[in-house]
Amino acid sequence: MTEAPRPPSLVQRLLRTVLLPLGLMWVAGTVVSFAVAQYFAQHAFDRSLLDDAYLLSAHVRPEHGQLTLDLTPKEVNTILYDQDETMYFSVRGPDGQVLAGDPGLAPNAHSGPAYEFADIAFAGKILRSVTLHNGLPARFDVVVAQTTNERNAVLRELMFYSLLPQIALLALLWAWLRRSIRRDVQPLSTLQKALGNRSSEDLSPVPTEASTRDLQALGLAINALLQRLDRSIRAQKEFAGNVAHELRTPLAGIRALAEYGLGHAEPEVWRQQLVAIAGSEVRATSLVDRLLAMAVAAEAESGLRLQPLALDAAVRDCVLRFIRRADEAGVDLGARGIDQPVWVAAEPTLLDGILTNLIDNALRYGVSASVAEPAVTVAVEQAGDEVRLSVQDNGPGAPHEQQVELADRGTQGEAGQLLGQGAGLGLALVAQYARLMNARMALRSGEDGRGWVCEITFRAVASPAS
């Protein structure tokens, strides 16, 4: 299998992108400059040739009824002298007869202009000629021609001395661009090495110093990606640790119940152990659901859309779901402040998660044997543009310093530890849900230091119907 050709480097691509158009423009400019120079050089030589023709025509005079050139050969040579070129001339009368000069040097056909230039072949050479048509006082033609060695040499020198500096400048431009581009893309190479040499576990930020805003923006984008990956990996590790830690207790309990049942032969003992195993499985399932909810909440920070929700209706529905469980536990579960509509900016699933976890925690840990009539109260209170949702119990409560720790993931209160149930994740979920909905959570002790209160403060909004 043939190996695919390696793509060019960024420096090569930039040099090619910059220098190729510059080279084409340079070639086009050189061609145009040479054409302009050739035109003016040709014009200068032609003008000199025309001056010679006018000088000769000035010495053509009628004599005895005929036209004659009143110049001696020496005078003609003096007029037409050129140290680099060979000069030819002829003077012809009205009927075409040669008055002087080379008989084979014929004039151009008269087509209107007083003089005409042409490239002709004469005596085995390519000559530049001018034909001067003179009509006063008698018609005659003067033809002057010369070889083109000098003008060709001038054009070659002009091309050489114009091309050489431009080639030198283009080479200097190439060297300067190559050095500048290499310097500007050096931070990109540094960034590549920094990322290529680090281990998969190293998610620390990369250096963002760069010579251009684009490279700096690239470094900042990579660092933002590394931060998101770091948060995601830490959340996954934390989730795995929570699962491993929190499932150990219910699984160990299920195994102990099964071993105890297997150690007895009475069916009634088996039945009791199976009921206990079923209850432990329910708690383990609930634990897994909460752990998954915590992971989802951590990933839901982007794209979450809040909407107006009726908090009174949500509280009413959630309390009704827990009434039977509260009655079985002998807890007086009630609600206050839901007799009139109260609207908040929230997300339905997260709001239901807050209510469910707060009431569940209160029923689990807010029951104390020292309290004759255990009670859990859910209250809704609006003050200005804020709405406070609170869940209060009259159980054992918790010290102030422990209340601060309870909002951290995996922290249980003393009652939960004594009961050996729950995951200590309820309030962590509540805190996470509240933060995602731009709400505030606060923990405090209840009246007379009995029980405790969890408050969630939402932003009040107008009813959608208003």
Can you spell out the DSSP letters for 368-429? -TT-SS-EEEEEEEEETTEEEEEEEE-S----HHHHHHHTSTT---HHHHHHT-S-S-HHHH
Read off the pLDDT of residues 343-372 as tens digits, 9 standing for 90 and up.
999 988 889 889 988 998 888 776 665 667
Question: Which of 42-46, 140-144, 300-304 is the least confident region?
Answer: 300-304
Q: Are residues 69 and 146 in the same domain?
A: yes
Q: Is 465 within a domain? A: no
**Residues across the chain:** 466
* Sequence-ordered list of residues with C-beta below 8 angstroms from that of 450, at least 6 positions apart, any chain: 371, 394, 395, 397
CATH number at residue 259: 1.10.287
The phi and psi torsions of 294 (rounded to 5 degrees) equal -65, -40
- Is 258 a member of any domain? yes
- Please report which confidence band the pLDDT of residue 439 belongs to, taking 50, 70 and 90 as the band edges: very high
| DSSP one-letter code for 4 | P
Q: Which residue has the higher pLDDT, 466 or 409?
A: 466
Most confident of the ranges 231-240, 303-312, 375-384: 375-384
Q: How confident is the model at residue 184 (pLDDT cuts 50, 70, 90)?
A: confident
pLDDT for the residue 243: 64
State which residues form the domain around 395.
307-459
Average pLDDT, the chain: 79
Residues 125, 64 within the same domain: yes
pLDDT at 411: 40
- Residue 413 maps to which CATH number? 3.30.565.10
Q: Are residues 249 and 384 in the same domain?
A: no
pLDDT reported for residue 111 = 66
With 80 as the cut, is the pLDDT of residue 101 above it? yes
Q: 314 or 39: which carries more pLDDT confidence?
A: 314
Q: What was the pLDDT predicted at 458?
A: 95
- Does some domain include residue 183? no
Measure the CA–CA gap between 204 and 210, rounded to whole angstroms: 18
In b/e form, how buried is each residue of 255-266, taking b as 16+ CB within 10 angstroms?
eebbeebeeeee
- This model's pTM is above 0.75: no
Q: 7-30 burial, b for 16+ CB within 10 Å, e for fewer?
A: eeeebeebbeeebeeeeeebeeee
- Does residue 192 lie in a domain region? no
State how far the Cα of 285 lies from the Cα of 295, in Å rounded to an integer: 15
The rounded distance, in Å, linking the Cα atoms of 184 and 262 is: 76
Per the listing, tokens 């590790």 go with 237
Mean pLDDT in residue range 444-461: 85
Q: How many CA atoms lie within 13 A of 448 on its CB side?
A: 5
Q: 286 with 383, same domain?
A: no
What is the CATH classification number for the domain harbouring 105?
A: 3.30.450
How much is the pLDDT for 245?
Answer: 54
Both tokens of residue 416?
């939960």
Based on the fold, state whether residues 366 and 454 are members of the same structural domain. Answer: yes
Highest mean pLDDT among 32-41, 72-81, 258-267, 294-303: 72-81
CB atoms within 10 A of CB 244: 9
Span of 75-84, 162-171, 402-411 with lowest mean pLDDT = 402-411
Residue 370 confidence (pLDDT)? 63
- Dist CA 244 CA 291 (whole Å): 11
Burial class (CB within 10 angstroms; exposed 0-12, middle 13-18, buried 19+) of 347: middle
Question: Do strands 386-393 and 125-134 pair parallel, antiparallel, or not at all (unpaired)?
Answer: unpaired
Residue 217 lies in a domain: yes
pLDDT surpasses 80 at 115: yes
Give the pLDDT band of residue 425 (cuts 50, 70, 90): low
The answer to whether residue 187 is domain-embedded is: no
Query: How far is residue 278's CA from residue 175's CA, in Å, rounded to a whole number?
Result: 80
pLDDT attached to residue 421: 39
Q: How confident is the model at residue 220 (pLDDT cuts 50, 70, 90)?
A: confident
Average pLDDT over residues 162-190: 80
> Are 94 and 87 contacting, i.e. CB atoms less than 8 angstroms apart?
no
Cα–Cα dist 237/99, whole Å:
114
**Structure token pair of residue 267:** 């069916």
* C-alpha–C-alpha distance, residues 190 and 216, integer Å: 12
Cβ atoms of residues 55 and 130 within 8 Å:
no
Domain boundary among 242, 264, 299: 299
Has residue 172 been placed in a domain? no
Residues 141 and 26 in one domain: yes
Residue 136 sits in the same domain as residue 105: yes
Provide the pLDDT for residue 295.
64
232 & 335 share domain: no
pLDDT given at position 405: 52
- Count of domains in the chain? 3
Confidence category of residue 106, pLDDT binned at 50, 70, 90: confident
Whether residue 394 contacts residue 371, with contact meaning beta carbons closer than 8 Å, is answered with yes
What's the pLDDT score for residue 315? 95
- The pLDDT value recorded for residue 456 is 95
pLDDT above 90: percentage of residues in the chain: 15
Q: Are residues 39 and 149 in the same domain?
A: yes
pLDDT at 403 over 60: no
Q: Is the pLDDT of residue 80 over 50?
A: yes
Q: Is residue 175 part of a domain?
A: no
405 and 323 share a domain?
A: yes
Q: Distance between CA atoms of 151 and 82, rounded to whole angstroms?
A: 12
- Residues 90, 113 within the same domain: yes
Same domain, 144 and 269: no
